[in-house]
Chains A and B, each alone.
Chain A
Amino acid sequence: DQQVKQNSPSLSVQEGRISILNCDYTNSMFDYFLWYKKYPAEGPTFLISISSIKDKNEDGRFTVFLNKSAKHLSLHIVPSQPGDSAVYFCAAQNAGNMLTFGGGTRLMVKP
Chain B
Amino acid sequence: ETGVTQSPTHLIKTRGQQVTLRCSSQSGHNTVSWYQQALGQGPQFIFQYYREEENGRGNFPPRFSGLQFPNYSSELNVNALELDDSALYLCAFQGGAGGYYEQYFGPGTRLTVT
Footprint of B on A, CB under 8 Å?
4, 6, 31-32, 34, 36, 41-46, 49, 51, 89, 91, 93, 96-104
Contact = CB atoms under 8 A, between A and B. Distances in A.
Contact of A96 (B2, B42, B56, B108): B56
Interface residues of B, number: 28
A103 B42 contact: yes
A103 B41 contact: yes
B90 interface: yes
B43 A97 contact: no
**Dominant secondary structure at the B interface:** strand
A43 B42 CA distance: 12
B102 A98 contact: no
Interface of B: 2, 4, 6, 31, 33, 35, 40-45, 48, 55-56, 58, 90, 92, 94, 100-108
Contact of B100 (A6, A44, A51): A51
Given A32-B100, A43-B108, 14 more contacts: A36-B105, A41-B107, A42-B107, A43-B90, A44-B105, A51-B100, A91-B42, A96-B55, A97-B31, A98-B45, A99-B43, A101-B42, A101-B44, A103-B42
Q: Which of B41, B42, B58, B104 has the most chain A CB within a 10 Å cutoff?
A: B42
Contact of A45 (B2, B55, B56): B2
A99 B107 contact: no
Given A44-B90, A89-B42, A104-B42, A99 B33 contact: yes
Contacts of B101: 97
Contacts of B48: 96-98
